[in-house]
Structure 1
Amino acid sequence: MKYGLFLYLPNHYALVTGLLPSHNGLTGNSFYDTGSGKNYRYSDRKKYLDKTWYGGTPIWVLAEQQKMLSATYYWIGSDAGIKNVYPTYYYNYNEVTGIRERISTVVNWLKLPAEDRPHFITFYLPHADKNGHAFGPESIETKQAVKLIDLAVNELTGAVKTTGLDVNFIFVSDHGMIEADYKNPIDIQAVVDTTNYKVYGDASMIQLYAKPGADMVPDYNKLKSNATGYNVYLKTNIPRHYHFNAKDDLYGRIGDILLMAKSPKMFKFGNYKVNPGQHGYEAEEVPEMRAVFYAWGPAFKKNTIIKPFKNVSIYNLVNKILGLTFTEKVDGNDELAKKVLLINSLK
């Protein structure tokens, strides 16, 4: 899969809404809303659970609205009551729950009587991402995490077989990862006075939101003239193919100045911890950022390899399989579904 430069939360949410970050409300793992003057940080539980941050209609909301049961074993926003709708079954996120317990829960959902059984289930395994950040993508620890996930998926599919149900599986990641230059991070505070801005972002992308009275143009020019290891844009001149400039800013949550690190460089700001493994770089320029996509089950063609596609089209794909209808405009399309689904599975 491919698309843009975005991080964990925006990509997770794009997968289940069919909307790009500029249209789904989440323009970063943390960001500022220029209209309300509030900020979002996924690490802040109260802010994370505020449903007003989340745009679009996630698949579980669409399913529940159309009288179909859904279940989420951790997915961004699924426990926030978006549009006043929760999945029939869901869990608040935590990293303590073991893989076997998660698998057991999913299998038990599928063993419920037909009237209580969810038709759509999300299941998240954070182990490779966590170790990749902490130790680097090529580390022994990350390879062990990948092996653990591989065994878990095998265990899950085997357990699902025992239910006798025809289940469709879609296995995806929200991003790739590279070995970053974490020993020599870029300190933007050494380049420009950031006291005139509200600063939000991550190691690969920083957004500067101008405070009243900030003189952006000189600061932008200073950042531009010192742009070694990063690109810098005013909100009005961010390249169109990112779908992340002033014209795309549906919720007023994109920074006035955007800084994007060039692989393998990364930013350091304040007390933010830099890690060996990093993502969020431009997918077209850094192939390692591209995510995986595997799908199998009765609805899918067999032995089919497809070219990279936009991850927002997974929304259309899942809705086709479930027979769900939607009228809201999304950023994905039906081309992926046409390529991978059997004709009699198109609904």
Structure 2
Amino acid sequence: MKMQKASSKIVIILLFALCFANGPYEVLAQDTTQQIVPGRANKLNQQAKPYVVLISIDGFRWDLADKYNASFLKKMRAKGVQARSMRPGYPSLTFPNHYAIITGLYPAHHGLVDNYFYDPHRSASYKVSDKRAVADGSWYGGEPLWVLAEKAGMLTASFYWVGSEAAIDGVRPTYYYNYNEKIPIERRISTVKSWLELPEAKRPHLLTFYLPEVDHMEHLYGVDSKQTAEAVAFVDSSIRQLYDSLMTTRLPINFIVLSDHGFANLDSNKYLGVPKLDTGHYLIRGGSALVHIYAKDKTAKKSLNKLYKQLKSSADHYKVFKASKTPPSWHYRSKGNTAGRIGDILLVPYPPYSFYFGGRKLLGAHGFDNRLQDMQATFYAWGPAFKQHFKIGNFPNVAVYPMIAKILGLSIRHKIDGKEKTLAPILQKQLRQVE
């Protein structure tokens, strides 16, 4: 009963929050029905494989479990694996990093270079609130883990993840939901359990699960607010309930709990205005923590260097970069960005400063330089595949992909940025022999 009341309270707040925060999708016309791709079954050689439940807590900064005493997560990470922190890709935003985790590619390489960007080859923009773009598989590069698994004859399921609603290379998870915030947590948990109670031929081995509550509260009220503390308590309790429910199946389930990025507090007195440009020649995309400037025609392209110098000389509380000369550690340059989706010129503020585009003034944001401590994410893991009582340092989130593929015995034959050796030390010794 207590859990149901907390869930109802969070949902009401979230519906309000989505009107202002840079949340995943619009609230209206939400589809709450389960989608099932017919005619699939696990191949016999996949049925004895382990199970991975990949849980993302949006915006769960590396220190939040300790800051707000997430007792269940603290208990389980102590039994399993705990990273000091996990480094997101640049920009440290929701869509670019959820898709980086699930493809093993940096945002500049998988194509989702921002939550809002322009593709000059398509003469079209991608925005996280645009349902048609989100469900269009042609926007997505790389090979998500569920595509890798399904092609190998292993079933997968998703209770939300970036890209799971689109047919990427013609493939979706066997079981999935279109993103919505109407389904209460109890139903989400019972659905995941029901997937793992299916007969072996129909049972998914990779399951993704997404919790948006912390991110929304941080946007609205800041990292240090009581609302964020309540959201942390909610997700901690939800994951405990999910774990307890799934353990009754007696399956060899491996749990990975992580986040897409960290969070920084903003000062509403330090909001920045975006420089005024000739919109006939230049296009602006991006958001509060990163602004892209695209040249729309040949005339604009010829004057980019002049514009860059002008912006750089007048920049106040933000940095100006050419796309060809961003910090190498970002892995975010025009070279390798074949779709041309990174702006020709980038405006990059540092918290507590951020760009303001109107509307409610939010008290928290992310998307900033991924080297900042506040932008670091969380990574915990436990289950039969993982070592016990093991700690590791900071690592890039693209390393999660080859590690999960190793646990599931899936071969990667395409190029990725993540290295298997990065997280090999956290796996049980016998797993290194799995092929």
* Alpha-carbon separation, structure 1, partners of 2:262 and 2:124: 30
Q: Do 2:259 and 2:377's aligned partners in 1 also have CA atoms closer than 8 Å?
A: yes
How many angstroms does 1:336 deviate by?
3.0
Q: What residue in structure 1 maps to residue 326 of structure 2?
A: 238
Q: Do 2:89 and 2:397's aligned partners in 1 also have CA atoms closer than 8 Å?
A: no
Q: Do 2:88 and 2:377's aligned partners in 1 also have CA atoms closer than 8 Å?
A: no
Q: What residue in structure 1 maps to residue 283 of structure 2?
A: 198
Alignment match of 1:219 (pick from 307, 316, 331): 307
Q: What residue in structure 2 maps to residue 333 of structure 1?
A: 419
Q: What residue in structure 2 maps to residue 15 of structure 1?
A: 101
Q: Which amino acid aligns with 1:293?
A: F
* Alpha-carbon separation, structure 1, partners of 2:89 and 2:381: 23
How many angstroms does 1:310 deviate by?
0.6
* Alpha-carbon separation, structure 1, partners of 2:361 and 2:397: 27
SS of equivalent to 2:253: coil
How many angstroms does 1:262 deviate by?
1.1
* 1:277 and 2:364 are equivalent in the alignment: yes
Alignment of 1:58-207 (within 5 A): 58-190=144-276, 192-207=277-292
How many angstroms does 1:143 deviate by?
0.6
Q: What residue in structure 2 maps to residue 42 of structure 1?
A: 128
* Alpha-carbon separation, structure 2, partners of 1:37 and 1:50: 15
Q: Do 2:256 and 2:380's aligned partners in 1 also have CA atoms closer than 8 Å?
A: yes
SS of equivalent to 1:82: coil
1:257-316 Cα shifts (integer Å, max 9, x gaps):
0111112210123x46541110111132x2011000000000000010001001001000
Q: Would the alpha carbon gap of residues 133 and 76 (structure 1) be closer, same or farther in structure 2, given more than 3 Å must change?
A: same
* Alpha-carbon separation, structure 1, partners of 2:259 and 2:359: 25
Q: Would the alpha carbon gap of residues 327 and 273 (structure 1) be closer, same or farther in structure 2, given more than 3 Å must change?
A: farther
- TM-score, length of structure 2 as denominator length: 0.77
Gaps in structure 2 of 5+ consecutive residues: 1-85
* Alpha-carbon separation, structure 1, partners of 2:330 and 2:399: 16
Q: Do 2:165 and 2:178's aligned partners in 1 also have CA atoms closer than 8 Å?
A: yes
* 1:293 and 2:379 are equivalent in the alignment: yes
Q: Do 1:203 and 1:274's aligned partners in 2 also have CA atoms closer than 8 Å?
A: no
Q: Would the alpha carbon gap of residues 2 and 304 (structure 1) be closer, same or farther in structure 2, given more than 3 Å must change?
A: same
What is the root-mean-square deviation of aligned Cα atoms in Å? 1.3
* 1:305 and 2:394 are equivalent in the alignment: no
Q: Do 2:90 and 2:107's aligned partners in 1 also have CA atoms closer than 8 Å?
A: no
How many angstroms does 1:145 deviate by?
0.4
* Alpha-carbon separation, structure 2, partners of 1:194 and 1:130: 32
Q: Do 2:322 and 2:345's aligned partners in 1 also have CA atoms closer than 8 Å?
A: yes
Q: Would the alpha carbon gap of residues 272 and 56 (structure 1) be closer, same or farther in structure 2, given more than 3 Å must change?
A: farther
1:10-67 Cα shifts (integer Å, max 9, x gaps):
0010000000011101000011112121111121111111111000000001110000
* Alpha-carbon separation, structure 1, partners of 2:385 and 2:324: 43
* Alpha-carbon separation, structure 1, partners of 2:398 and 2:307: 35
Q: Which amino acid aligns with 1:295?
A: A
SS of equivalent to 1:248: coil
SS of equivalent to 2:257: strand
Q: How many residues align?
A: 344
Q: Do 2:98 and 2:260's aligned partners in 1 also have CA atoms closer than 8 Å?
A: yes
Q: Do 1:4 and 1:282's aligned partners in 2 also have CA atoms closer than 8 Å?
A: no
* Alpha-carbon separation, structure 2, partners of 1:140 and 1:155: 22
